[in-house]
Amino acid sequence: MAADGDWGWVVVAGCFVCNFVLFGVNRSMGIIFVVLQERFEASATDTALAASIFVCVRCFGGKVD
């Protein structure tokens, strides 16, 4: 039996799914940007700030563990 109790591949699969979804959202931010702006009636600056925070949290969140 592996040292991790055979949970290693479950963790790998979970990380893959999370990164797959988040990368897709990140790459389609140009389309989502317009929808968010209309939905929340926000300015382009406020919407871009939210998108920037999303990217920063995604990039630096991996460094935590």
Q: Does residue 41 register a pLDDT over 90?
A: yes
Q: If you average pLDDT over residues 16-41, what whole number do you get?
A: 89
Residue whose token pair is 């630096």: 60
Provide the mean pLDDT of the chain: 85
pLDDT at residue number 45: 95
Inform me whether the pLDDT recorded for 23 exceeds 90.
Answer: no
pTM for the full model?
0.61
Alpha carbon separation from 2 to 6, 7, 13, 35 (Å, rounded) = 6, 9, 17, 47
| pLDDT above 70 coverage of the chain, percent | 92
Residue 4 clears pLDDT 80, i.e. is over it: no
